[in-house]
Structures are given as C-alpha cells and as structure tokens.
Amino acid sequence: MFLKGCPLDCPWCSNPESKDKDPQIMFNPNLCIDCKKCIEICPNNAVDFNLRGRIVRDKCNLCMECVDHCYSKALSIEGIEGSVEELLFELNKDRIHYRRSNGGITFSGGEALYQSDFLLELLKGCKANGWHTTIETAGYYPKETLEKIIPWTDLFLYDIKMIDDGKHKKVIGVSNKRILANAKFAAASSADLVVRTPIIPGFNDDKESVSEIAEFALDLKGVKRIDILPYHRLGEDKYYGLGQKYQMKDIESPSNEKMEQIKELIIKKGIDCTIGGVE
Ligand code: SF4
Ligand code: SF4
C-alpha cells in the first residue's frame, strides 16, 4: 500500500505521484483521444493543450470535473482519502492470499511514516488480524515517530543511499544523520531489517560509496542483507503527466555487469546481497 507524502526529494524517485501529500491529477497522452471534453468542462480555465502535463496546476482546484468526464481515462486522480477502517476493509479482501503465501502487507510511499499516526492505526489493525507487516522507509523523521511504529512492525526495508553527508545533502537536499541514527535504532529493535540501496550512476555506484554502505550495514545489529536496486527510468512519463520536470533524463540504468560487480563487492565485505531483493 502506497501512502502519499515524502520529506525527501530524490531526483530518481520512480513514484513522483507519492511525493506530494495531496491528491494530484495525472495526464496520460497515450490514452487521450483529443475529444476536448476536459477543456469544455473545466470551470477554472485550468486545462491547456499546450502543456505536456495538460493542467495549469495553480489554477486547478481539484474539482475533478475533467477526470469524471474523461471517458478514455487519460486524466486520473493520484491519491484518495480514506479512513483506517475503509483501508482495512479493502486489505481484508486479500486475507486468504496473505495466509496462503505467508505474506502480509507492505506499506510504502512516498515515505510510509510521513502519515505516521494514520500508519500506526493501520499497523494495529493488521496485527489484530494476524498479518505480517513490512515498512519500506527512507528513515527521515524524529526517533519518537519510529519508536511508536516499531512494536507493530515485523520487517523494515530501510533505504540507505549514501554515507557521505555532504554528497547526501547536495543531491537529496537533507543531511543523512537522522536517517543513519534511525537505522541503528530500528536494526536494534525486535523488527527485522534489510538495507535497500538504489544504485544511481554518478551518485553512489563507485567503490567507495558502496563500501561505506556495506560497512555501515555490517555494523547494524541484526541486519539481514543489502538489496541493491538498479536505477531505472520507468517513472519518467509520470513526471511529465504531473506537469513536472524529470531531472535524470541523461542518466542510463547501470548494466547487469556493473550490478554484479557491486554485489560481489558487498558480499566480500561480509554481508549478504541481492540484486532487486529476489534471487
Ligand atoms: S477529456 Fe480526456 S480524452 Fe478528452 S481531450 Fe481531455 S484528456 Fe483527452
Ligand atoms: S480538476 Fe477541475 S479545476 Fe482542475 S483542471 Fe480539472 S476541471 Fe479544471
């Protein structure tokens, strides 16, 4: 389950629709049949066919008229508001699958802990049903927020992107001190923890950056392994559909060979490693 809102701004994020906490309109040009219904119906003159993302965001008040009248579904809403009870009702529909697959619920984002009070109630509901809970997190929040969540969490998939704080600040916009401190705290808790590292060419695909991440993970109590995730561009069109710029358009994905080299380097450091989280 994806929860909206994230305090970080990683330029490679493949879920840009999850960064903002509020609902947003997404335009998909591949589905548009040029019927012009959206421009006719908009009460705020906020549809502009000259824009790649189609919507003039500062004029739009999210009335949803264009989405409701776009029969080809070229316009859609990203993000819905719902209560804890409503979401647990939806999750409950798959309960047989969770039991048979030995699986459970993964809360992701955005940053799953951005709406931490809401997440806490969801987690309690999951545990009341006996479901396994996993949280995918980038770790940037006060320690007290994490403390509340830990007793209801079975597994953290914890992003560590860079150990050098200067490089972290320069590219991601915030210091990593809190992220690394929270990683230590989560790893020492009752929950399991897997480190996840997106491999971004030119940012953290060099030997030094990878070695530092592996050494940090080795020092974490109870860490299971590092999953390295190759950067990809599957989210690029979503940026345009939201009327945003994609900053990574000149960056290619790392080769399989490069990923294997990084994996080998991490394993040599003494910690298990997978590419993509499954092997
Ligand atoms: S209503 Fe939908 S299909 Fe018609 S022009 Fe607008 S976006 Fe395209
Ligand atoms: S959501 Fe409403 S205001 Fe925004 S573009 Fe669509 S019709 Fe116009």
The pLDDT tens digits of the residues spanning 25-83 come to 999 999 999 999 999 999 999 999 999 999 999 999 999 999 999 999 999 999 989 99
The pLDDT of residue 267 is above 80: yes
Atom of ligand 1 nearest to the CA of 73: 2
Between the CA of 47 and the centroid of ligand 2 the distance, in Å, is 7
CATH architecture of 84-234+252-275: Alpha-Beta Barrel (3.20)
Q: Which amino acid is at 240?
A: Y
Between β-strands 192-199 and 132-137, what pairing exists: parallel, antiparallel or unpaired? unpaired
> For 141-152, what is the mean pLDDT?
97
Q: Where in the chain is the domain with CATH 3.20.20.70?
A: 84-234+252-275
Residue 97, C-beta contacts closer than 8 angstroms, at least 6 positions apart: 103
CB of 34 closer than 6 A to ligand 1? yes
Specify the CATH number of the domain 24-78. 3.30.70.20
Query: Which residues of the chain are in CATH 3.30.70.20 domains?
Result: 24-78
- Is residue 73 within 6 Å of ligand 1 at its C-beta? no
The protein residue whose alpha carbon is closest to atom 6 in ligand 1 is 38
Task: Name which residue sits closest to atom 6 of ligand 2, judged by CA.
Answer: 66
For position 43, what pLDDT does the model report?
Answer: 97
Average pLDDT, the chain: 95
Integer CA distances (angstroms), 84 to 125, 144, 190, 221, 266, in order: 8, 22, 25, 33, 40
